[in-house]
A and B are shown apart, each in its own frame.
Chain A
């Protein structure tokens, strides 16, 4: 089989048993890689109702199907587990070199179950796989852990994925750090922490054979020029991912501010990359095989935050630790971002949880006696930085915040649930859905909670069109079933491992050539879309088995009850009636029933017959 490492690696930390299984060709053809492998392995290996932080949850890692080949932008690999933040299917994607490295080591995925007796790390050195002692790494930041493991092994080339103190302390939105990138969302760092798994180190030196090297060289030559000269690529290289922050504030008015009380952040200019890139950025960084690099290295040389050196802050962080917490200081933003990266916390969830605490404080629901004397006013630098430390170490109020905004608001009560921003427990990213109604539907139905990446619906909503979808009206709740198709496309990207920022040029129609070059499969665009749909339905099936249905496909009360106060989406809100209409239309497009459950006919069409029996579907 071309384009594959050829084996799956199963590790049981409780027993110490390590098993390598040959990758089955039928399995590979049907689920292809990345998200497909992750969703299927998760469905098969994590039974309904298991504790996400217990030994029966599994942590799965699967590089995209094109990972390891030189296909430009094929950098993405995914971590999969049952999320400790949502209790649902979870995927966290990152562009680390550990994915290709794993393929060069001869594996297309690994699955870790159980719980080690002491802090450990998994060391995959081609065929030699061991569970090593990690007691000397406990308490160390993500970057220190990387250095520690490189020192242990004595090789700078070793790729490492690890957790920081937040993951060790089971912060429910702890991330996994690898290659200076983060698998940020849904708290998979806590899953590693619960297994006493501090890190995974990989070194691969085996040949990775693709189907047609000559075709690949031809495609590379053609696509290199197409990508490098694309206006989107040029702008990404210049300003990174936050290039459109001005438009979001000035034109659309959908930049969530001060815990989504406002949708325009008046201080956005100084956290915009147009301001800070020329002033602070010393270089541009890329994920693996990316030729439109969007990472901007932010370095602070003097002042209170001297010494900060990070890849970012990316757009979502400009929102979460910028506008959402009322912070307009780019140096504070970079410092907070660095702290999150080192402690191993998802910047999006962290910012939203802090923003919620700040609103509680300003409304008098939390007082200085609850916060250990911290004044949690929006924009307070000391409070933001201190809270991040307190969350990661579960100190004081940080212990409650570390549970995520849904659980924190449940514990505090006093009506704070009404402005706790989450869907299914996951804190939302930077798009105010009241002014992007398709994004509202996307948040509501997403399999991992409030997520911009299941669908990337913000793109057609903002620009009015994408791919074959034209005349998208962001302020209307009509004709939003297109979200179904773009979710399938995004699941396909996550399966092959292509970055979603490539969606402006790699349309589904372009992918068959790459399949031919890497895997030697002849798959047309219709089959590829069906693959995406199969993967998405697998994610959904996992959630259905956990008891999720239409009741969970909803939005935070603020988006349903409080119209936008000012700016380009002024007075807009998503009414319950609109949400229900969008859900009906979406479920119908999906071929699911009115309760949001896949039908037997749909799953059989997607060749998931065994799942229909498992779920006892009608």
Chain B
């Protein structure tokens, strides 16, 4: 499974950031969301999220072996091994990785175990799974 982003369809509603943090953290906090949306200008809203790259550079960059790929194709973070060193963040070509502000581990989209909430509530289909 992979998440596809169609930027021109993004309305900038940012509901994805709330459902993501609600699902993963049980609270509403876009800064703890695995997806973020940058409203660059009146015509540009840019969703930024993991694309589940083949040969994922983040996995290769992690010196602690904290990142792996699960059966759904999602990158999983082993929070016991992750030191929040940030090398995966630097390696990501989509700038899709951020550090969790309180747990100090990498936050990467886990595809919600097969039913990504962000894509489920993306009304014009800017986020799609395939």
Contacts and interface: CB of A to CB of B under 8 A. Distances in A.
Interface of A: 68-70, 72, 97, 100, 104, 143, 156-157, 179-180, 204-210, 213, 216-217, 220, 224, 228, 237, 282-293, 295, 297, 299, 309-311
A70 B19 contact: yes
14 contacts: A69-B28, A70-B15, A70-B121, A179-B39, A207-B32, A209-B28, A283-B9, A286-B11, A286-B12, A286-B13, A290-B11, A293-B13, A297-B42, A297-B43
User: Top 3 A-B pairs ranked by shortest CB distance?
Assistant: A286-B11, A286-B13, A70-B18
A291 B13 contact: yes
Nearest to B32: A207
The interface centre, meaning the residue of B13, B31, B32, B120 with most chain A CB atoms within 10 A of its CB, is: B13
A295 B12 CA distance: 11
A213 B26 contact: yes
B14 A289 contact: yes
Given A213-B22, A284-B11, A293-B13, A104 B42 contact: no
B39 A180 contact: yes
Given A180-B42, A309-B43, 14 more contacts: A100-B30, A104-B31, A156-B39, A156-B40, A179-B39, A204-B31, A208-B29, A217-B22, A224-B120, A228-B123, A286-B11, A286-B12, A295-B11, A297-B43
Contacts of A292: 123
B25 interface: yes
A210 B28 contact: yes
Contacts of A287: 13
Interface of B: 8-9, 11-15, 18-19, 22-23, 25-32, 36, 38-43, 45, 101, 120-121, 123-124
Contact of A207 (B18, B25, B124): B25
B42 A216 contact: no
A224 B121 CA distance: 7
B25 A293 contact: no
B124 A237 contact: yes
Given A288-B14, A293-B123, A209 B27 contact: yes
Contacts, number: 103
B72 to A, nearest CB: 20
Contacts of B19: 70, 217, 220
A336 B103 CA distance: 49
Contacts of A208: 27-29
A289 B27 contact: no
A180 B45 CA distance: 12
Given A69-B28, A70-B19, A70-B22, A291 B123 contact: yes
B14 A97 contact: yes
Contact of B29 (A206, A286, A290): A206
A69 B17 CA distance: 10
A117 to B, nearest CB: 33
The interface centre, meaning the residue of A157, A207, A290, A311 with most chain B CB atoms within 10 A of its CB, is: A207
Contacts of B101: 205
A261 B42 CA distance: 35
A293 B125 CA distance: 13
A44 to B, nearest CB: 29
Contacts of B18: 69-70, 289
Contacts of B27: 207-210, 213
B105 to A, nearest CB: 16
Interface of B is mostly: mixed
Contacts of B14: 97, 288-289
Contacts of B36: 157
A48 B124 CA distance: 48
A288 B28 contact: no
Contacts of B123: 228, 237, 286, 291-293
B44 to A, nearest CB: 9
Nearest to B44: A283
Contacts of A156: 38-40
Given A205-B101, A216-B22, A290-B13, A310 B42 contact: yes
A207 B22 contact: no
B76 to A, nearest CB: 22
Contact of A157 (B23, B29, B38, B41): B38
B11 A285 contact: yes
A157 B101 CA distance: 15
B43 A283 contact: yes
A504 to B, nearest CB: 16
A207 B13 contact: no
A72 B15 contact: yes
B53 to A, nearest CB: 23
B15 A289 contact: yes
A213 to B, nearest CB: 5
Contacts of A205: 29, 31, 101
Contacts of A143: 42
A217 B18 CA distance: 11
Nearest to B15: A289
A283 B8 contact: yes
B99 to A, nearest CB: 12
A232 to B, nearest CB: 14
A209 B25 CA distance: 10
A340 to B, nearest CB: 14
Nearest to B46: A156
A282 B43 contact: yes
Given A97-B14, A220-B121, A285 B32 contact: no
B94 to A, nearest CB: 15
Nearest to B40: A156
A285 B25 contact: no
B121 A291 contact: yes
A295 B23 CA distance: 28
B65 to A, nearest CB: 29
B28 A70 contact: yes
Nearest to A147: B41
Given A282-B43, A310-B42, A217 B11 contact: no
A311 B39 CA distance: 13
A68 B95 CA distance: 25
Given A217-B23, A283-B8, A309-B43, A291 B15 contact: yes
A70 B14 CA distance: 9
A72 B16 CA distance: 11
